[in-house]
A = this chain, B = another copy of it.
Amino acid sequence: MKLIKGFQDNPNSNYQLNVINLMKHAVRNYSRQEIVSRNLDGTLFRYTYSDAYKRMQRLANSLETIGIKVGDRIGVIAWNTYQHYEIYFGLPGIGAVMVSLNLKLAPQDLAYVINHSGIKYIIVDEDLIQVAESVVPLCKGLLGYIIITKKPLNNVKTILKPNYSYEDLLREALPNYEWPNLDENSAYAACYTTGTTGKPKGIYYSHRNVYLQAMMFAAHFSMSVNDNVFQLVPMFHVIGWSKPQAATYVGAKLIFSGKWNLNDLEELTNIFVQEKVTASGAVPAVFMAMLEFIRKMKQKPDLTGTRLICGGSEPPIALMRGFWDETGAEIIHSYGSTELMAITTLNTFKPWLEKELSEEELWNLKKKQGIIVSGLDVKIVNKDGKELPHDGKSSGEILIKGPWIAEKYFDAPETKDNFTERGYFRTGDAGCLDSEGYLKITDRLKDVIKSGGEWISSIDMENSLMSHPSVLEAAVVGISHPKWDERPLALVVLREEYKSTTKEEIREHLAKLFAKWQIPEDIIFESKIPRTSVGKLDKKLLRIEYRDYYTNYK
């Protein structure tokens, strides 16, 4: 679309929306605000924004001393720690690019990311050295490693060479750093998505992208200096869903979760209470496990007023209601992806809907992906690219464009069909928008089940399954079928206490919402459903695993 220039008198187009300006001018105001970080041993480290900023300056100086230059790509393999937060600003602040490495990737995928993005150095937590070591033979371009450890370096056994100690570098660095006036369109970070088929695809976020999303998030989420923000989402996922940056913008207290998994739910729940967490975020699988844990607690944690962003996939109503009933915390669904830079929608209510809708209708509204945030351009289009009305019914592919939405993948010309000529990202999701601006995903386009020429929504069916009291988890995939082209197959994990539930009971439950022809031929009870490295149902794997299921099914 042609750019039209109006009357030009740009007195301040010179001022750059880079994270240096975001951070240093916020630190001026909130220097005493606390930052908490969970150590490997479960103890909590505490310091302030002012302390963090001092160390960011030392980090910037030491990175330059090592030889890192403007434009260099630097990999980071780290848990959610205060050092990771320092890297979030100190590294892109000098003009280098922070390439967030997903520590759950297989070595060959990780190596692909490192080679494709041209990473020169890797900053790695001592606890994650093995992840870095696994790629060394596959990556010839790596010049060195910075290890985050409190130990003397010679006590750290590793093949990573040459290596530096993060803490030694900071200690030896000059205290003050003169930040460059960095063009806002310079890359701040890169994240690679592995959500779909093929090689990981890289998205580079500019400083401007990050700055604007932080402002938007703070505004639309009403985040303020009174918030205590618990960073549970791994910081290598889409730059931590922008929470560290938005929190910094408004001077909120930040709490970093350290290394954790679902065995640490007691500790994490305690942190919610002790640190008076008012905002956090995670994928449904995490909140589901946390809710199960809380249900078993004698004294439930009082989380009244806490807002939990739930993204990655759609949270079941049962989960949202459960949290509300047990703790008083509100789950707010947000839709996004690596290409959309996480926060693309927020499911918040409007005063008139709170008046007009019944409690039940409001819960149903909460199931939607929420309002596409102000400033983003969205289109629902049919197969011919024709725009569909925002009537809450017309479903088509969701196209999005906006100040932080990817318009291409880095150095991957073969992927250009993922974007339209006018720069919209094709989400690959089918959905509809209602007249209030709420988006509802009806299906991943590739997850749609096409049975005898008709579509069946796997997501609707999963939600219906999840609403059955016996069901803990559910996945529905389309499996090729000799007669109907494709047929749905349901995989269900039953709750411990309802193991006697039968297939017939589940079918009857589905029959309340679905036509007879839509109900799966079979329901398989599993003990676990595989998930991807980012916690989504791994339907790709399920489709492969059960490829021939209906072919042989009598």
Chain A residues with CB under 8 Å of chain B are 1-17, 21-22, 25-26, 28-33, 70-73, 92, 95-97, 180-183, 185-187, 203-204, 206-209, 212, 215-216, 218-220, 222-226, 249-251, 348, 350-352, 371-372, 374-378, 390, 401-408, 410, 423, 433, 435-437
Contact = CB atoms under 8 A, between A and B. Distances in A.
- The DSSP consensus for interface residues of chain A is loop
Contacts of A218: 219
Contact of A350 (B96, B251, B350): B251
A436 B187 contact: no
Contact of A12 (B12, B33, B186, B402): B402
A401 B2 CA distance: 31
A251 to B, nearest CB: 7
Given A30-B350, A187-B6, A15 B182 contact: no
Contact of A375 (B25, B181, B183, B390): B25
B204 A7 contact: yes
A6 B69 CA distance: 9
A437 B203 CA distance: 36
Nearest to A341: B12
Contacts of A31: 435-437
A181 B225 contact: no
Given A6-B71, A187-B6, A374 B22 contact: yes
Contact of A206 (B13, B402, B423): B13
A77 to B, nearest CB: 20
Contacts of A410: 9
Given A6-B186, A29-B371, A435-B31, A407 B11 contact: yes
A182 B6 contact: yes
Nearest to A356: B32
A382 B167 CA distance: 38
Contacts of A206: 9-13
28 contacts: A2-B180, A3-B14, A3-B16, A4-B186, A5-B70, A5-B185, A6-B92, A6-B95, A7-B73, A7-B186, A8-B187, A9-B410, A12-B406, A13-B185, A15-B403, A22-B374, A25-B374, A25-B376, A28-B378, A30-B437, A32-B350, A32-B352, A215-B216, A219-B223, A219-B250, A222-B222, A249-B374, A250-B374
A368 to B, nearest CB: 13
B95 A4 contact: yes
A57 B40 CA distance: 58
A10 B185 contact: yes
Contact of A9 (B70, B187, B222): B187
Nearest to A73: B7
Contacts of A15: 401-403, 405, 423
A393 B116 CA distance: 53
Which 8 residue pairs are nearest across A and B when measured between Cβ atoms? Answer: A6-B186, A29-B437, A218-B219, A11-B407, A6-B95, A219-B219, A4-B180, A7-B187
Given A186-B6, A350-B251, A390 B203 contact: no
Nearest to A217: B219
A11 B203 contact: yes
A350 B350 CA distance: 28
Nearest to A433: B28
A407 B22 contact: no
B407 A12 contact: yes
A407 B186 contact: no
| Residue in A225, A375, A378, A410 with the greatest tally of chain B CB atoms within 10 Å | A375
Contacts of A378: 25, 28
Nearest to A216: B215
Given A7-B186, A29-B436, A186-B8, A219 B215 contact: yes
A347 to B, nearest CB: 12
A354 to B, nearest CB: 9
Given A12-B401, A31-B437, A249-B374, 17 more contacts: A1-B181, A2-B181, A4-B182, A5-B70, A6-B182, A9-B187, A11-B206, A12-B403, A13-B185, A22-B375, A25-B375, A28-B372, A28-B390, A30-B350, A222-B224, A225-B351, A226-B351
A215 B221 CA distance: 12
Given A377-B21, A437-B29, A4 B215 contact: no
Nearest to A180: B4
B12 A209 contact: yes
B181 A26 contact: no
A495 to B, nearest CB: 38
Contacts of A376: 25
A184 to B, nearest CB: 8
A375 to B, nearest CB: 5
Nearest to A202: B9
Contacts of A404: 12
